[in-house]
């Protein structure tokens, strides 16, 4: 076969490989989004089946209150599952963190367990939207000693400024406002929001019947299916909320057509109109109920497993062993170093374990991976700066990103602002990523495969997986990573790649509409 024919076949095969990889990355994103919806839906179904509430606040550490502090307090600390506040004599407020807006029509009963050193006064402060004015409940007197308060948030007595107002329907902000004599202490143990009386229970043993949103909402439990792409979509959602009974579980089937970013936008629209809804992925309706039954039969552990520390120690020992005594065979050594470099980040990101607030074990895991990866550059086989050609080729990637951004930008989509601090941080972050993907992984994939094109593909694939489950970002990093990995193998220079990476990412983030590129977040944080 002539070499030109072989080259043409190779190009077609390589293009087919890239297209199929892009499709598989989209499927991975869809699978993770489905699981992200299914697991919380299953838990909500269990609570609806037993009549329990998803809204409980335990006061164990600073993560359990808004901003990690009590506003206006003289002193505060946590001890034995209590928040202990010493009053300065001024009014102080305790903010309760909300994952999303609360539907107070369905959960109107606020229970508060606390101890007070002296008689005090308590009010509930709510904002129905974050930009809305404060709504303040009537005064509740707290006696010295132990108290279990039961407040009906649907009762009258609310005010805003100097005027009386109707009880709030929703809560985007929820605070407890306390007046206590100076030097006295309040010990807050737990807060919960309970369901309205007479709420219908869900039968987990059978799937409720499914109805379309155009049909009148039935009296019994049903799963309401909403359209995915309709100009009347918002009207349909609002109509469902308006006609729903607060005592009937509001189960919504989320259509799973189109791109994941479009499904996320629809999810957000549903929760904005129906904050009390349980959203179930349409492709996993039965699986959500099955998952709920299994979880009800064997509830997951709620405490961190001590095995996590043992696995961390084992990982550290493995890194130390292979750094000191790597395999002698060059290809095996290169593969082991790639695997050990990527193992922890991919476990955190692809596994959906990173939410932006890593715990101690996760921080140590990340630190160990970085120390190991940095140690692989002793001696260094790359350079910081590149030739003029390297900078020009890296700049061509930015031009390509800008072209894509302008072609896909819509006049009705606002530009996303990017601050100078963001640019500096992202440049440093891009430099770290280019080091890991190019200087560590692609360099070694070249040794393993003996082929520059395959090495660039595998480096780009690892780069794309590091952005799971952000589908648009995975596709962008697959394409960009392919360019940067190939350029690295030609030049072995990191600064041009980091500058190109940061500029391309910021251009796309600025220009692309949110339904195409939702954000630059990854792992569990992407779905927040």
Q: Domains of the chain by range and CATH?
A: 36-51+200-297 (no CATH), 56-194 (2.60.120.260), 303-527 (no CATH)
Residue 300 predicted with pLDDT over 70: no
Exposure on the CB side of residue 361, measured as CA atoms within 13 A: 17
- CA-only gyration radius of the chain, Å: 27
Q: Residue 321: what pLDDT? A: 92
Per mean pLDDT, which range of 461-465, 483-487, 517-521 is the poorest?
517-521
- Residue 212's SS3 state is strand
Q: Are the CB atoms for 41 and 281 separated by under 8 Å?
A: yes
**What is the rounded (10 degree) CA torsion for 73, 77, 82, 84?**
-40
Residue 111 predicted with pLDDT over 70: yes
Q: Are the CB atoms for 92 and 73 separated by under 8 Å?
A: yes
Q: Residue 142: what pLDDT? A: 92
- In the chain, pLDDT over 90 holds for what percent of residues? 51
Q: At what angle do helices 233-243 and 260-273 cross, to 10 degrees?
A: 40
**pLDDT tens digit sequence for 191-201:** 999 999 988 88
Q: Residue 517: what pLDDT? A: 83
Residue 227 predicted with pLDDT over 90: no
Residue 118 predicted with pLDDT over 60: yes
Residue 93 predicted with pLDDT over 90: yes
pLDDT grade for 231, boundaries at 50, 70 and 90: very low
Q: Residue 382: what pLDDT? A: 85
Per mean pLDDT, which range of 126-140, 162-176, 230-244 is the poorest?
230-244
Helices (H), 204-305: 233-243, 260-273, 285-297
**pLDDT tens digit sequence for 150-184:** 999 999 899 998 889 999 999 999 999 999 999 99
Residue 487 predicted with pLDDT over 90: yes
What mean pLDDT, rounded, does the chain reach? 87
Q: Residue 372: what pLDDT? A: 92
> What is the rounded distance in angstroms from the CA atom of residue 215 to the CA atom of residue 470?
35
Which DSSP letter does residue 202 get? P
CB-based burial label for 363 (10 Å; 0-12, 13-18, 19+): exposed
Residue 409 predicted with pLDDT over 60: yes
> What is the rounded distance in angstroms from the CA atom of residue 184 to the CA atom of residue 75?
11
Residue 356 predicted with pLDDT over 80: no
pLDDT grade for 57, boundaries at 50, 70 and 90: very high
> What is the rounded distance in angstroms from the CA atom of residue 409 to the CA atom of residue 415?
9
Q: Residue 189: what pLDDT? A: 93
> What is the rounded distance in angstroms from the CA atom of residue 177 to the CA atom of residue 183?
17
Residues whose CB is less than 8 angstroms from the CB of residue 341 and which lie 6 or more positions away in sequence, other chains included: 369, 372, 373, 376, 436, 440, 441
pLDDT grade for 122, boundaries at 50, 70 and 90: very high
**Phi, then psi, of 37 in degrees rounded to 5:** -80, -40
Contacts 24+ apart (CB under 8 A), 355-359: 355/523, 355/524, 355/525, 355/528, 356/521, 356/525, 356/528, 357/63, 359/304
Beta bridge partners of residue 147, listed in sequence order: 114
């Amino acid at each position: 076969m002539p070499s030109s024919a072989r080259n043409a076949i190779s190009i077609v095969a390589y293009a087919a490989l890239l297209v199929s990889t892009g499709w598989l990355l989209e499927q991975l994103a869809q699978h993770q989004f489905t699981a992200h919806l299914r697991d919380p839906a299953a838990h909500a179904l269990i609570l609806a089946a037993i009549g329990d509430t998803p809204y409980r606040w335990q006061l164990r550490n600073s993560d359990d209150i808004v901003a990690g502090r009590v506003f206006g307090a003289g002193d505060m600390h946590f001890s034995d599952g209590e928040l202990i506040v010493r009053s300065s004599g001024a009014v102080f407020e305790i903010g309760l963190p909300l994952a999303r807006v609360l539907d107070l029509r369905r959960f109107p009963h606020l229970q508060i367990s606390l101890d007070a050193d002296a008689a005090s006064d308590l009010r509930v402060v709510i904002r129905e939207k974050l930009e809305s004015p404060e709504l303040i409940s009537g005064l509740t007197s707290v006696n010295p000693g132990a108290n279990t308060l039961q407040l009906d948030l649907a009762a009258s007595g609310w005010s805003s400024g100097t005027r009386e107002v109707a009880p709030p329907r929703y809560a985007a902000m929820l605070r407890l406002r306390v007046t206590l004599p100076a030097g006295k202490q309040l010990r807050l143990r737990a807060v919960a929001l309970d369901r309205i009386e007479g709420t219908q229970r869900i039968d987990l043993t059978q799937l409720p019947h499914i109805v379309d949103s155009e049909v009148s909402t039935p009296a019994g439990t049903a799963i309401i299916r909403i359209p995915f792409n309709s100009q009347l979509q918002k009207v349909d959602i609002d109509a469902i909320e308006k006609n729903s009974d607060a005592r009937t579980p509001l189960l919504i089937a989320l259509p799973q057509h189109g791109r994941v970013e479009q499904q996320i936008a629809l999810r957000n629209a549903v929760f904005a109109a129906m904050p009390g809804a349980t959203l179930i992925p349409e492709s996993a309706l039965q699986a959500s109920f099955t998952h709920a039954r299994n979880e009800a039969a064997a509830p997951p552990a709620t405490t961190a497993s001590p095995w996590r520390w043992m696995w961390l120690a084992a990982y550290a020992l493995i890194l130390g062993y292979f750094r000191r005594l790597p395999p002698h065979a060059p290809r095996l050594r290169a593969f082991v170093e790639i695997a050990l470099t990527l193992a922890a980040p991919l476990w955190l990101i692809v596994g959906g374990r990173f939410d932006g607030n890593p715990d101690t074990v996760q921080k140590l895991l990340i630190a160990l991976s970085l120390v190991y990866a940095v140690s692989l550059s002793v001696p260094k086989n790359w350079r910081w700066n590149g030739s003029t050609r390297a900078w020009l080729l890296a700049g061509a990637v930015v031009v390509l990103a800008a072209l894509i951004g302008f072609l896909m930008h819509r006049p009705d989509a606002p530009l996303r602002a990017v601050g100078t601090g963001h640019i500096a941080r992202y440049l440093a972050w891009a430099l770290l990523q280019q080091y890991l993907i190019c200087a560590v992984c692609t360099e070694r994939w070249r040794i393993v495969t003996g082929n520059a094109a395959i090495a660039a593909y595998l480096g780009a694939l690892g780069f794309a997986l590091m952005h799971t489950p952000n589908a648009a970002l995975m596709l962008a990093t697959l394409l960009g990573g392919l360019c940067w990995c190939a350029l690295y193998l030609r030049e072995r220079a990191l600064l041009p790649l980091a500058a190109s990476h940061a500029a391309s990412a910021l251009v796309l983030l600025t220009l692309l509409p949110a339904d195409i590129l939702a954000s630059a977040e990854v792992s569990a944080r992407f779905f927040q």
